[in-house]
Amino acid sequence: MSSEDNVQPSIYMHADAVPWVCTRIKRNHRANTSSVLMSFSSLFLLAFCLVGGSVATRATDPSFDTNYEITWGSDHVQSINQGREIQLSMDKSSGSGFGSKFSYGSGFFSLRIKLPDKDSAGIVTAFYLNSHTDKHDELDFEFLGNKQGKPNSLQTNVFANGQGNREQRILLWFDPTANFHTYKILWNQHQIVFFVDTVPIRVFKNKTNIGVNYLSQPMQIVASLWNGESWATDGGKTKIDWSQAPFKAQFQGFNIDGCTSQNSNTQPCYSSSYWWNSEKYGVLDSIQERAYEGVKRKYITYDYCSDRSRYQTPPPECLQ
């Protein structure tokens, strides 16, 4: 692996380096909690360390069957560890996918994912929410595979009432093929936040007051491994190397923190009795804000908000 070359070497680390680094960082953090000069990379490390405990499967996690079902390519899906882990695979004959049994009107959704660990150019590993309606709402994490040694990109997109074209892409500060990491989507009536472990990488605020559609339809949680070679890697120029098949991605963490919603009225899901709707989750806190600023400064490789060839004036949601 030499993908370090393309990401930040200072905070790129291998799993076996974590315990030592974390002990050191936590100690430093305790010593400096009042210092506002804590470096950005330490913040990142601290976030990484704090979440470290959730990387392993928790004993309390429900099995896959409790909340999810296979929706595509069942002969390419394997259940591991009594359903605590699911492996999707893809070869020339098929990809595969699963979805939640219910749809949700708000929530804080997460999956732990480990991406295909070989030459995966053209392969897309997706974790998303989708209303499957005519003018649909959708929130996407799409991991775009790459040649061995080149980093995967993480693309996110937001569709509200059928309108998408809001792609953003980042590079990650770790190798997502080496270990499980937690990818999360917070959705309440105030904001949508995409997280990588504890780090916010994208925020989409409810700006209905300035005429921007906001997501309001019940959505299903979906994950899949599919053929995106027409667009995903180098704009579609780098194709899938089928000699590397089958491609495999693993998923864990099948607990769902969400408000189930069977009909189009999601109003009951805005109730403040759901913890993810509370004031605390209405805005980023100061630590999250700084980590988010760091992502915007160092890791974003594409942002529709600053693509002037596409939008001569940025769409209204891009303005502060």
- Catalytically annotated residue among 85, 138, 229, 317: 138
| Least distance CB 81 / ligand NAG (angstroms) | 37
271 binds ligand NAG (CB under 6 A): no
Q: Which residues, at least 6 apart from 168, have a Cβ–Cβ distance to it below 8 Å?
A: 155, 156, 157, 202, 300, 302, 303, 304, 305
Is 138 annotated in the active site?
yes
Task: Compute CA 65 distance to the chain's CA centroid, rounded to the nearest angstrom.
Answer: 22
3-state secondary structure the chain: CCHHHHCCHHHCCCHHHHHHHHHHHHHHHHHCCCCCCCCHHHHHHHHHHHHHHHHCCCCCCCCHHHHEEEEECHHHEEEECCCCEEEEEEECCECEEEEEEEEEEEEEEEEEEECCCCCCCCEEEEEEEECCCCCCCEEEEEEECCCCCCCCEEEEEEEECCECCCCEEEECCCCCCCCCEEEEEEECCCEEEEEECCEEEEEEECCHHHCCCCCCCCEEEEEEEEECCCCCCHHHCCCCCHHHCCEEEEEECCCCEEEECCCCCCHHHHCCCCHHHCHHHCCCCHHHHHHHHHHHHHCEEEEHHHCCCCCCCCCHHHCC
- Catalytically annotated residue among 4, 69, 85, 142: 142
| Least distance CB 262 / ligand NAG (angstroms) | 17
Binding mask 198-237 for ligand NAG (x = CB under 6 A): --------x-x-----x-x---------------------
Is 142 annotated in the active site?
yes
Q: Closer to ligand NAG at the Cβ: 216 or 288?
A: 216
The answer to whether 46 touches 25, Cβ cutoff 8 Å, is yes
Residues between 149 and 208 that touch ligand NAG (CB under 6 A) = 189, 206, 208
Residues between 105 and 134 that touch ligand NAG (CB under 6 A) = none
Q: Closer to ligand NAG at the Cβ: 66 or 208?
A: 208
| Least distance CB 201 / ligand NAG (angstroms) | 21
| Least distance CB 160 / ligand NAG (angstroms) | 9
| Least distance CB 216 / ligand NAG (angstroms) | 4
Task: Provide Rg for the chain, Cα atoms.
Answer: 19
| Least distance CB 136 / ligand NAG (angstroms) | 14
Q: Closer to ligand NAG at the Cβ: 133 or 255?
A: 133
Q: Closer to ligand NAG at the Cβ: 2 or 263?
A: 263
Q: Closer to ligand NAG at the Cβ: 10 or 208?
A: 208
The answer to whether the bond into 19 is cis (omega within 30° of 0) is no
Q: Closer to ligand NAG at the Cβ: 29 or 202?
A: 202
Question: How many residues of this chain bind ligand NAG (CB under 6 A)?
Answer: 5
Q: Which residue in the shown chain puts its C-beta closest to ligand NAG? A: 189
Q: Closer to ligand NAG at the Cβ: 131 or 216?
A: 216
| Least distance CB 208 / ligand NAG (angstroms) | 5
* Active-site residue list: 138, 142
Residues in touch with ligand NAG (CB under 6 A)? 189, 206, 208, 214, 216
